[in-house]
Chain A
Amino acid sequence: MTIFITLVDVTLRGLVGRRRTVLLVLLAVLPIGLALLARLGGETPDAAAALDALVVRIVLPLIALVFGTAALGAEIEDGTAVYLLTKPIARLHIVVAKVVVAALLTAALVAPSALVTGLLMGGGDEGLAATLAVTPAVIIGSLLYAAAFVAISVITTRALVIGLVYVVIWEGILAGILVGTRIFSIREAVLGFAGVLAPDAWESGLEAAQAVALALVVVIGGIALGARRLAVHEVRGGD
């Protein structure tokens, strides 16, 4: 257990406290700001649609992308991963700790963002249901994205760009056009989870069974893949 806590501690301290964290916090606060303005304007808009557009489509994946690719990827890139790898601990423990930290940090920013934005938007009972449904969904989504991006960051140093392409092009464009690819989209799974809790507000996501299946595959598969690749990860010397 100490091992796990040590890994979490080192990863946490490495991720937080940089300039980029401030930018991510600003990004998470953005929807809240908009919601405040909406309130001041006196409108009662469709909370679900707004939350979907902003928090689920943009804030969640981008924050998860930065934390997920940096949790292990930054250490691999700057060479400090050696100190974790040359220890008698299973590679699985390392990957799990990284995923947990990335997921926690993402959720810590995105869940309040979703919750406060939704509450401010109002919308009566329906709006409240939508908000209370999407908040746990984005927490699950944080875990899914974290597992995926940490795994990618072990495989390649270009994880951030690949993650960007996935979010912007795959999830953003293709999944809208090619309906069959929705089953491979984490965003659709998040919407599906929200739909489980508030089916009227969140209709467009995956079915419950599909969402759960995708979640299991991504989390278990991502962590397993990351651990396997980390076990054969080679660190070249300077020579």
Chain B
Amino acid sequence: MTADATPRPGGDPPIPSGSIYDLGYRGYDGPRLGRRHAVGALFTHTLLSCYGIGRGGRAKIIPFVLAGIAVLPAVIAVGLVALARQAGQAGEFITDASPIRYETYFEIVGQIVALFCAAQAPELLGRDQRYSVLSLYFSRALERTDYAIAKLGGFVVALLALVLAPQIILVLGLTLSSPDLAEGLGENLPKVPPILAQAVTLSAVFGSLSLAIAAFTPRRAYATAGIIASFIIPPVVAEIAREVTSRDISRWFVLASPPDVIGATNAFFFDIRPDSSVIAAARHPGELYLVVAALAVAACTGILIRRYQRISA
């Protein structure tokens, strides 16, 4: 350390001469993982932070509570079935009458997913906007579009986990608790493709819709309100439309209601009759709902990407 430029105690003006101290700052010459890794890192980070992993304890409360509630009916159902099997013939009544089955489960868990979206989507997007962190993201190898897609991917996968966890428990539980393993597999395995299809559809639709709404405001409370409104209002509107307007007009309202569309795709994948009277009254072919879902996902993704291309950071 050269003595010249050291400021002396007592406040003497330093004698003019310059030198730079080597305090340990080093440039980095090593390999730089490129854009793909940046996107992957953001994707993983998004997925984990949906469940509060990597953030404080408080951030874990809501997601874990919701996940617990989502999984609980499945655990109960498996328990019931296992008990019922012990009871033999009488038990079959119970298993058949159990309301908790693969096809009905999505309706139960759908509301949990909606709450999860309303709670977590604003967190994912709002915090970055509110604290002006976006400029840090965009000055990396990450493109604006990449940011949007990585967030969307992470969030949809997080929702997938939420939706599939109870279903996996159901499949495993029901298969393993059947007296003959081959029979159990034969009963339950064919259900797996529809489960997966519906899970993907539900996650993609709810996820992209929530993010598209949350992207437009840094205030988390407004985003939460908007997301909840988008899940609550359209079904009510569809219901009222069915009552007050003619069939030809009201049947189209159902397509604008995310919970109803998902309910319809559920019915389509599992090849059952839909529960909701609104869907039944509309009498659309099941494929139409699939198309609508796909279009909705595409539209929301487009809105999300465009928002982040235009946002000032």
Contacts and interface: CB of A to CB of B under 8 A. Distances in A.
Q: Do A and B bind each other?
A: yes
B288 interface: no
Contacts of B250: 37
Contacts of A58: 232-233, 236
Contacts of B237: 30, 34, 54
Would you call the interface of chain A mostly helix, strand, loop, or mixed?
A: helix
Interface range for A: 20 to 34
Interface in B107-129: none
From B228, B241, B245, name the one whose CB has the most chain A CB atoms within 10 angstroms: B245
A2 to B, nearest CB: 32
B246 A43 contact: yes
A20 B223 CA distance: 11
Classify chain B: how many residues form its interface, as a range. Answer: 20 to 34
B240 A168 contact: no
A34 B237 CA distance: 8
A179 B243 CA distance: 27
B221 A40 contact: no
B299 interface: no
B222 interface: yes
A38 B232 contact: no
B241 A37 contact: yes
Contact of B221 (A23, A53, A160): A160
Given A37-B249, A161-B221, A161-B224, A168 B241 contact: no
Interface in B234-263: 236-237, 239-241, 243-246, 248-250
A45 B221 CA distance: 36
B229 interface: yes
A216 interface: no
Contacts of B87: none
A53 B225 contact: no
Interface string B10-37: 0000000000000000000000000000
20 contacts: A20-B222, A30-B233, A34-B237, A37-B244, A38-B244, A40-B245, A41-B246, A43-B245, A45-B244, A46-B243, A50-B240, A50-B244, A54-B236, A58-B233, A58-B236, A62-B225, A69-B221, A160-B224, A161-B221, A168-B232
Given A27-B229, A35-B244, 20 more contacts: A27-B233, A34-B240, A37-B244, A37-B249, A38-B244, A40-B249, A41-B249, A45-B244, A50-B240, A50-B243, A53-B236, A53-B239, A53-B240, A58-B233, A66-B225, A160-B222, A160-B224, A160-B225, A164-B225, A164-B228
Interface of B: 216, 221-222, 224-226, 228-229, 232-233, 236-237, 239-241, 243-246, 248-250
Interface of A: 19-20, 23, 27, 30, 34-35, 37-38, 40-43, 45-46, 49-50, 53-54, 57-58, 62, 65-66, 69, 121, 158, 160-161, 164, 168
